Amino acid sequence: MSKVLPAEGGLRRVIGDGHELPDGEVDLTPEQHLDLYRDLVLLRTYDERSVVYHRQGRIGTYAIFWNHEAMQAGSAFALEERDWIFPSYRESAIGLLRGLPASTVLSWWRGHPAGWWNPEKWGVASICVPIATHVPHAVGFAWGSRLKGDDRVAIAYFGDGATSEGAFHEGATFAGVFNAPAILFCNNNQWAISTPVSAQTAAATLADKAIGYGMPGVRVDGGDVLAVYEATREAVARARGGDGPTFIEAVTYRAAPHATADDPSIYIDEERVEEERENECVGRYERYLKRFDLLTDAQVEEIRAEGLELMRAGIAEAEAEPPADPGLVFEHAFADPPASFRDDLAELRRILGG
Amino acid sequence: MSKVLPAEGGLRRVIGDGHELPDGEVDLTPEQHLDLYRDLVLLRTYDERSVVYHRQGRIGTYAIFWNHEAMQAGSAFALEERDWIFPSYRESAIGLLRGLPASTVLSWWRGHPAGWWNPEKWGVASICVPIATHVPHAVGFAWGSRLKGDDRVAIAYFGDGATSEGAFHEGATFAGVFNAPAILFCNNNQWAISTPVSAQTAAATLADKAIGYGMPGVRVDGGDVLAVYEATREAVARARGGDGPTFIEAVTYRAAPHATADDPSIYIDEERVEEERENECVGRYERYLKRFDLLTDAQVEEIRAEGLELMRAGIAEAEAEPPADPGLVFEHAFADPPASFRDDLAELRRILGG
Amino acid sequence: MAELLLVEAVNDALHIEMERDGTVMVIGEDVGRLGGVFRATAGLHERFGADRCVDTPLAEAGILGAAVGLCMAGWRPVCEMQYDAFSYPALDQLINHVGRYRWRTRGKMSFPLVIRMPYGGGVRAPELHDDSPETYYVHTPGVKVAIPSNPADAKGLLAAAIRDPDPVVIFEPKLHYRTGKAEVPQGEHVVPLGEARVAREGTDVTLVAYGAMVPLAERAADALDAEASIEIVDLRTLKPLDEDALLASAAKTGRVVVIQEAPRTCGFAAEVAAVLAEKAIYDLQGPVLRVTGYDVPYPYWQIEDAYMPSVERVVDAVRRLLAA
Amino acid sequence: MAELLLVEAVNDALHIEMERDGTVMVIGEDVGRLGGVFRATAGLHERFGADRCVDTPLAEAGILGAAVGLCMAGWRPVCEMQYDAFSYPALDQLINHVGRYRWRTRGKMSFPLVIRMPYGGGVRAPELHDDSPETYYVHTPGVKVAIPSNPADAKGLLAAAIRDPDPVVIFEPKLHYRTGKAEVPQGEHVVPLGEARVAREGTDVTLVAYGAMVPLAERAADALDAEASIEIVDLRTLKPLDEDALLASAAKTGRVVVIQEAPRTCGFAAEVAAVLAEKAIYDLQGPVLRVTGYDVPYPYWQIEDAYMPSVERVVDAVRRLLAA
Ligand SMILES: Cc1ncc(C[n+]2csc(CCOP(=O)(O)OP(=O)(O)O)c2C)c(N)n1
Ligand SMILES: Cc1ncc(C[n+]2csc(CCOP(=O)(O)OP(=O)(O)O)c2C)c(N)n1
Ligand SMILES: [Mg+2]
Ligand SMILES: [Mg+2]
């Protein structure tokens, strides 16, 4: 049986601190715990390596998700394979949890066509770069699946800033009205680039926004992978059971730059960042698992090594991609391209060749 | 002292039914009551005559506001002259309460340039035809006024359907964040053309949406002019006092077609309409005033006659407007029109003249 | 053949295509019980049920955004925008997603959605019920755009749009929704996208038009009957453009007037003129003239006729061209 | 004169105009403490305070809609859109309100707002950081549009925009924000809207360009040095267009290539070509060629150079034109 605890600020929590804060429990087998841990480490490794690859000039601008891994892995762990994930740039690598190759995601950040995957194959929609515009996609997908008699669920990830966008509002409104089996998962890392959540909304909490859409709003400690898992599991059950959408606000604090191009020192509270880094989500889960004797140091080593190996292979594979053919410019826009594309391509080839 | 009563569905109410439902009271002098009654009758007369003028082909398509008068007059009565009103098409004639000539509004519905007024002169923004897009205007105005050190308040009127639009959401978010002295006044007539509010949102009430913007949400009986007045007066006081925006949901039931072009018989509940028509807002106030001996039959006659006379004069004036010069097509788009306008106009005049 | 109004032809196409393909659904504001403010979707709700003809919340970006997701779930949504100028909140979804999502999946997923809306002026309506927004759509990569000028094409182009694997936008000339019945093929009727129609053959001057400007061009041609032999090219599809038909007519007449009711700058007439300036320059016997709406806010309806291209303005352009 | 990067020139203009006029305020996402993701608004928050340099919620329609209201309250808001493709949620406010509100008041009220944003490709960025959306703006009645190509014009056009009584949109070529310092007049510097600039005099072929395409045109002209005398017209303002300058150059050279990085159909090059086809047809000694982006989604950055107009494509067009 699960035991979820209320925490500071009404956040749901499972993982304690090993001292005063007691641990809760969730309904996972030891193997599942290890799988979840593996997911967390995989994302962490992906993220840390990506920052290095960026510095080495091997990938372009990159949106760091350091310490967001618990939100991503915990929620995704509550899904079935047939459920769909609608990521923002912040969840660029979430497909890894479903076996999407690291080289694919790395290629995306390398601006190489090999980075654009088939959403149907992985149940992971394309990375959404504009803020919040994928919320209606997820809702439309969930609604459409229900109309088809499927029991698939869709989850959309977005940030605290995203909740100010009209697209979020319209998507959430549709979700409520059509009772869509959708989960609106808000990563509240308390910053939209340099804008703190206090300047983003006057709402007391982001979860409060759910009331306006007639759906439950749940607040959870975003650094607690098990609390995130539990909250999402409940939301998935609700959705699949025909009880409609849920808004989940997972609260954390952005402890890294917004992206590789960003310099947060201008605006962020460095002390708060330090605190957060010390209490980062992978270590928290690691210590929890060790308290329950579910994880050994040897396993930690092995899992980390696995992750590193996957990344080494991934970047090698991405870098081994043949240069993209300029002719791709004219592909994939239409099933049946207009004649003008053929002419334009011929001209381009003539000029490039000449 | 005012005495506002809770009513069915948690709606604030002042006016009773003369039988079981007791009357409340508001802080208005007998003269003010008469003024407010005059406002109500003026709007009612405007609306009823407009429907007739439309049938006579003297104005074009017209958005009927029959039984919305209490919401408009009650709220506007709580404003000071320096406060600004941002109307939708449903409040097209609200400027009348500030002395804007009936002929102007009639000209608007006649598609004649004389219908376009100077917002600064009346403190009434232009009629907003697209849904909800004026909410950020009102909020920007209120915020900007506060920044200037003014104590002006802005009120935006919109419908239940409007609360689904992204523009509403973004405007409301800005209002909360900038603590704008704005009132978001939602006329919940329970229909957006043929779409009932139950298909518009899954929220329990529209006022609940206010929580997501960190502002109070108030529900009031939209057929009760005094309850509307009271709620708005409080909101104005809050706004002017620096305590920020308020969302007011005034609940009524649309008891007339959406507009002259609409045939609601296809979708509406005719019995409910009948009920509403019997309990319409002007009669309710009239009976209230009579119960308190604040209004005589003679005064009713006189005030109605005044309204009719104003409309007679208004339509005559509107119809006496000289035909608009086609050259107006090129005016007012820019302070300093580009050379091409001059050439286009010359060409047009040559052709029209020829 | 049946005699139908343009809006009835639209309705007919929706009935037939929804019958034919169980994945076609109609979504929009007031499309259900009311059957749309112009009655274009009348009867669908009764016939196909509330799940396939859906009244949505009042949120255009929500409609188009949800449609993207519906495609991903295997539907072919036909989205109604209630009016031209009320489609603008959805432009963000159009540009950043509708036009790009197939590309994003490297062609692995299709987005067979349709956006249809009444467009255009001349109907004596309040502000913002008169726009001709085709430029915003036609400039956007990844979407096709068609604009019928008559009932048969309204049916056939819509059917083609619904069957197309890619996003198609159809603008329906609301001015002509009910101006007259015309023959419309019964049953399935498809007018392929990308094929212009020579609405009238002539030898002296070509009028290039689409949508509500085609009947106008015809009236202008009638007025010029004694003076010149006018050819009228009804583009029907703006994107992909039938360049061959355009260039053939320009080669034949050497004189072209392009008509469009949208504001002039970067309107579709500019594109037509640019194609001619690039590919027909040696055929042209005079300037390419544009008769368009002006670069001003669409005016109060009492003077909208001064804004709209008129027979007089078209005739004047043709005469100037012939005299050049 | 000072030597400034383009983005520094923008920043300089903002400082000077905000100093000059206490009603100018800057609003947008991250414009405050961060000074904008490109640092275009750096220092304004410190100098003029949080009330005049305002970090807004993440809501572009809210930004532009609020700006309309701010104008009504007596402010001159300068709105930053963080990137080109993220301005689309605000198009609805632009088209239905920003471009129409002065007209709605019959000229009684002014809406002296500015929208400025980085635009354009070639910067190796993730999806949707590369758009050239000028058509959406330039087609909209009631707004002016300017696109500087160098630091001095970036400063001067922005100053003109801020002082203009009407809405002005400025697209800043992000590719050239930091590519090189150039001389910029110190203190107040205004480049009037509506005046093109002959960036280079020549006699054989005119290259018409704006924004990031001007330096490209210059490189192409250099490459063609031995073959042809190239004139370059930097439009600077797209609306109102300086037709006189355009027509004068076309009359002089008789051969015109128009360059634009936006997708081709209904891009601004089409408008330029249409103006030439209408008003310069007898001056033209060959077709008007367009070198543009293609009608496709802006691609993955590893092949973006194939999408962007290149020196090679411009040179090729010029050669074809000279051989025609
Ligand atoms: C529509 C839109 N506007 C602006 C941007 C630029 N932008 C990218 S990330 C970001 C901040 C997003 O903050 P939040 O929603 O909290 O997500 P986080 O990045 O913190 O995960 C902004 C403004 C964008 N991508 N899309
Ligand atoms: C953006 C936009 N979309 C659609 C419309 C068409 N339309 C006009 S009124 C209306 C219904 C509005 O309902 P509601 O907000 O409840 O206001 P009411 O008319 O009931 O006062 C619609 C859909 C519009 N004017 N603007
Ligand atoms: Mg955030
Ligand atoms: Mg309503």
Please write the tens of the pLDDT for every residue from C150-162. Answer: 999 999 999 999 9
Encoded amino acid at B169, one letter: H
Distance of CA D243 to the CA centre of its chain: 17
Residue nearest to atom 11 of ligand 2 (CA): B192
Q: Phi, psi (5° rounding) for residue C210?
A: -160, 160
B249 lies in the same domain as B338? no
Q: Enumerate residues lining ligand 1, CB below 6 A.
A: A 90, 129-131, 158-162, 187, 189, 191-193, 258; D 29, 58, 82, 86, 89
Identify the chains in contact with D, defined as 3+ C-beta pairs within 8 A: A, B, C
Query: Which chain C positions have a beta carbon within 8 Å of A119's beta carbon?
Result: 72, 105, 108-109
pLDDT interval class at A2 (50, 70, 90): low
Handedness of CA C298, C299, C300, C303 (dihedral sign): negative
Q: What is the pLDDT of residue A10?
A: 78
A211 lies in the same domain as A350? no
A211 lies in the same domain as A230? yes
As annotated, the active-site residues of D are 129
Q: E strands within chain B?
A: 5-7, 11-13, 84-86, 154-159, 182-188, 191-192, 195-196, 217-221, 246-251
In a 13 Å sphere around the CA of C267, the CA atoms on its Cβ side amount to 23
Active site residue C129: yes
β-strand C114-119 against C144-146: which pairing, if any?
unpaired
A232 lies in the same domain as A215? yes
Q: Which of A179, A214, A244 sits opposite B203 (nearest CB)?
A: A214
Total number of domains in chain A: 2
Residue D9's nearest CA partner among D188, D184, D160 is D184
Counting ligands in written order, which one lies closest to the CA of residue B192? 2
A250 lies in the same domain as A347? no
Q: What is the pLDDT of residue B354?
A: 54
Between the CA of A176 and the centroid of ligand 3 the distance, in Å, is 24
Q: Which of B135, B147, B174 sits opposite D51 (nearest CB)?
A: B147
Q: C36 to chain D, minimum CA–CA distance in Å?
A: 22
Q: What is the pLDDT of residue A8?
A: 53
Between the CA of A132 and the centroid of ligand 1 the distance, in Å, is 8
Q: What is the pLDDT of residue A354?
A: 55
Residues lying with their CB under 5 A of ligand 4, a single-atom ion: B 159-160, 189, 191-192
B179: left (phi over 0), alpha (psi -120 to 50) or beta: left
Place of tokens 């808000």: A186
Q: How far apart are alpha carbons C260 and C233 in whole angstroms? A: 13
**Would you tell me how many other CB atoms lie within 10 Å of the CB of residue A19?**
6
Between the CA of B189 and the centroid of ligand 4 the distance, in Å, is 5
Q: How far apart are alpha carbons D48 and B117 in whole angstroms? A: 35
Place of tokens 């980062």: A280
| Domain that includes residue A79, residue range | 5-322
**Would you tell me how many other CB atoms lie within 10 Å of the CB of residue D223?**
15
B242 lies in the same domain as B347? no
The answer to whether C10 and C18 are in contact (CB under 8 A) is: no
Q: What is the pLDDT of residues C182-202, one digit of tens each?
A: 999 999 999 999 999 999 999
Q: How far apart are alpha carbons B124 and A120 in whole angstroms? A: 52
Q: What is the pLDDT of residues B61-98, one digit of tens each?
A: 999 999 999 999 999 999 999 999 999 999 999 999 99
Q: What is the pLDDT of residue B10?
A: 79
- List CB contacts of B274: < 8 A, sequence separation 6 or more: none
A300 lies in the same domain as A238? yes
A300 lies in the same domain as A342? no
User: Is A148 within 8 Å of C74 when comparing Cβ atoms?
Assistant: yes
User: Is B335 within 8 Å of D102 when comparing Cβ atoms?
Assistant: yes
Helical H runs in A88-219?
102-109, 119-122, 135-148, 166-177
Q: What is the pLDDT of residue A301?
A: 98
Q: How far apart are alpha carbons A38 and A280 in whole angstroms? A: 16
Distance of CA A354 to the CA centre of its chain: 45
Token readout for B325 is 């010069």
In eight-state DSSP terms, residue A132 is T
Q: Is the pLDDT of residue B44 over 90?
A: yes
Q: pTM above the 0.95 mark?
A: yes
pLDDT interval class at B158 (50, 70, 90): very high
Q: Is the pLDDT of residue A6 over 90?
A: no
Q: 3-state SS of A69-101?
A: HHHHHHHHCCCCCCCEEECEHHHCCHHHHHCCC
B305 lies in the same domain as B344? no
Token readout for A74 is 């915990």
Residue D161's nearest CA partner among D152, D151, D170, D172 is D170
Q: B217 to chain A, minimum CA–CA distance in Å?
A: 11
Q: How far apart are alpha carbons D62 and D89 in whole angstroms? A: 9
Q: Which segments of chain D have a pLDDT < 70?
A: none
B309 lies in the same domain as B342? no
In eight-state DSSP terms, residue A124 is B
Q: E strands within A160-207?
A: 182-188, 191-192, 195-196
Q: What is the pLDDT of residues A81-121, one digit of tens each?
A: 999 999 999 999 999 999 999 999 999 999 999 999 999 99
**Would you tell me how many other CB atoms lie within 10 Å of the CB of residue B292?**
12
Instruction: Return the percentage of chain A with pLDDT > 70, whole number.
Output: 97
Token readout for C159 is 């059917």
Q: D104 to chain B, minimum CA–CA distance in Å?
A: 6
- List CB contacts of C323: < 8 A, sequence separation 6 or more: none
Give the mean model confidence (pLDDT) for residues B305-330. Answer: 97
Q: Which residues of B178-213 are buried (b: 16+ CB within 10 A; e: fewer)?
A: bbbbbbbbbbbbbbbbbbbbebbbbbebbbbbbbbb
- List CB contacts of C49: < 8 A, sequence separation 6 or more: none
The answer to whether D180 and D206 are in contact (CB under 8 A) is: no
The answer to whether D217 and D199 are in contact (CB under 8 A) is: yes
Counting ligands in written order, which one lies closest to the CA of residue B158? 2
Token readout for A166 is 């009209």
**Would you tell me how many other CB atoms lie within 10 Å of the CB of residue D98?**
28
Q: Enumerate residues lining ligand 2, CB below 6 A.
A: B 90, 129-131, 158-162, 187, 189, 191-193, 258; C 29, 58, 82, 86, 89
Query: For residue A274, what is the domain's CATH number?
Result: 3.40.50.970
SS3 (DSSP) at B199: helix
Give the mean model confidence (pLDDT) for residues A292-304. Answer: 98
Token readout for B167 is 């523009």
User: Is B208 within 8 Å of A204 when comparing Cβ atoms?
Assistant: no
Assess B195–A contact: CB distance below 8 Å, yes or no.
Answer: no
Nearest CA in chain D to C142: D296
User: Is C286 within 8 Å of D281 when comparing Cβ atoms?
Assistant: yes
Number of H helices, E strands in chain D: 12, 14
Q: What is the pLDDT of residue D231?
A: 98
Q: How far apart are alpha carbons B7 and B221 in whole angstroms? A: 8
pLDDT interval class at A5 (50, 70, 90): low
The answer to whether D6 and D177 are in contact (CB under 8 A) is: yes
Distance of CA A118 to the CA centre of its chain: 17
Q: What is the pLDDT of residue B3?
A: 72
The answer to whether C265 and C234 are in contact (CB under 8 A) is: no
Q: What is the pLDDT of residue B2?
A: 64
Handedness of CA D155, D159, D162, D166 (dihedral sign): negative
Which DSSP string corresponds to B10-66?
GEEE----SSSSPP-B-S--HHHHHHHHHHHHHHHHHHHHHHHHHHTTSS-S----T
- List CB contacts of D216: < 8 A, sequence separation 6 or more: D209, D259, D309, D310, D311, D314
In eight-state DSSP terms, residue C27 is E
A35 lies in the same domain as A135? yes
A125 lies in the same domain as A141? yes
Per-run averaged pLDDT (10 residues), chain C, 324 residues = 96 98 98 98 98 98 98 98 98 98 98 98 97 98 98 98 98 98 98 98 98 98 98 98 98 98 98 98 97 98 98 98 94
